[in-house]
Amino acid sequence: MYEELYTNITDEQRAIRDMAHRFAKEVLRPAANELDKLKAEEVVKSETYWNAMKQAYELGFHKILIPEIYGGLGLDPLSVHIVLEELGWGSSGLAVSIIVSCFPAVACCIFAGDNDNLIKEFVLPFTEDTKATYIGCWGITEPDHGSDWVASDRKTFRGNVVAKKKESFWLINGQKSAWVSNGPIATHCFLFLTIDEHEGIALVNLKDSDGVTKGKPLEKTGQRALPQGEIYFDDVKLPFENMIVEDVEMFQFAHNSNLALANAGMSAMFTGVARAAFEEALRYSKERFQGGKLIINHQTVQQILFKMYQRVETARYFSRAAMIYNLSNFPPKEEYSIIAKVHATEAAYENANDAIQIFGAMGLTKETEIEMIWRDARASLIEDGSNETLSLKAAACFEDLDIS
């Protein structure tokens, strides 16, 4: 796991790394291989999927971002990165499913931590869950809105899901798109919506709300172990207290903070994917004979492996730095997380692509894990904001960059 460069790793961090790696190797990777072969509607009913999620919850990986005061693990930022890298190494799809489950609970801790009712409804049931019965989702992507959530003009932006204030409740109508991670199975939602002419954020108990329906799971090329699908809201009544962000300036702050957290998590998980691709290529190069010798002894292969290893280390170094900074400073700087996400996801895709080149024609077959890793990595260039749009968002911060 190549920790030689990192002399600041403690014994406790090595222990949680080893535990996370065993889980990723023994549970996530085999589960991902099996789920990859199923139809999307079969995945959400599969014992393989639910057993993997239950084991993740039993080990507490679903609550690594929750403070100890609410029953979470309360991990330091470096430990969070270490765990996410290992989960991503095992399966990016399952890793995303595990981590996005915490979004409603984390949002509640940050924006409604003084509301005992919401803590009891959205946080404590999550931290106490060891059976994966509480599955969270992030309801942001819409049929008409994807990456433009990231960099839109907030004065004119209007989403598809709209909340109208009534005498004693909010009334919600609209649709979230098929790309909502955990959408088909979610019990709770961290919901971005439009209030009049601006935006807000709500917490919705999907399983106990009348008017909530879901679309069928989406068939995808990559990350097939991650259930994604639409969520529809038809005259859903929401208590006033569940609208945790309704002020314009507070929304922008919450949005940027969430962007910083989500992209930092993506950078950590896909550092793991970049590493997985490198390891698959390295292993194969030590097994495959061609031209009378192992291909690892061919200089062209050595050059490719060098570039792959370089990408792993640079992705890890920057993503760790971004995670540590943005989980230690308030407010966070989303541009650091964006740079880390863009770099790590590109590293993952380039490594997977280079690994297939080392495998040759065998890398294109379903018999190899690298073929699945390549498809999974491709999705990350769009996931949680396309890299092009995210880059523009980060570049806008250069206007305030002091170079004196």
- Distance, CA of 396 to CA of 392 (rounded, Å): 6
Same domain, 272 and 193: no
Residues 6+ apart with CB under 8 A from 60: 73
What confidence tier does 331 reach under pLDDT thresholds 50, 70, 90? confident
Residue 153 has pLDDT above 60, yes or no: no
SS3 278: helix
DSSP symbol at 269: H
Q: Which of 143-157, 272-286, 314-328, 385-399 has the lowest mean pLDDT?
A: 143-157
* Span 246-256, pLDDT tens digits: 888 888 888 88
Residue 109 has pLDDT above 70, yes or no: yes
Q: Which of 84-88, 148-152, 176-180 has the lowest mean pLDDT?
A: 148-152
Residues 6+ apart with CB under 8 A from 136: 100, 101, 102, 103, 104, 105, 126, 182, 186, 187, 188, 189, 190
Q: Tokens in use for 25?
A: 């190797």
**Cβ(67)–Cβ(80) below 8 Å:** no
Residues 6+ apart with CB under 8 A from 128: 71
Same domain, 263 and 395: yes
Mean pLDDT of 287-294: 90
Mean pLDDT of 84-107: 98
* Angle between helical axes of 369-380 and 92-100 (0-180°, round to 10): 50
pLDDT in the model for residue 156: 53
What CATH number has the domain bearing residue 221?
2.40.110.10
> In the chain, how many domains are there?
3
What confidence tier does 198 reach under pLDDT thresholds 50, 70, 90? confident
More confident residue, 153 or 120: 120
Residue 1 has pLDDT above 60, yes or no: no
Residue 242 has pLDDT above 90, yes or no: yes
Provide the total of helices (H) and of strands (E) in the chain, helices listed first.
Answer: 15, 10
Omega within 30 of 0 (cis) for the link into 331? yes
Same domain, 95 and 169: no
- Distance, CA of 87 to CA of 21 (rounded, Å): 7
Mean pLDDT of 321-326: 96
Which one of 191, 222, 249 terminates a domain?
249
What CATH number has the domain bearing residue 365?
1.20.140.10
Mean pLDDT of 19-41: 98
Mean pLDDT of 300-323: 96
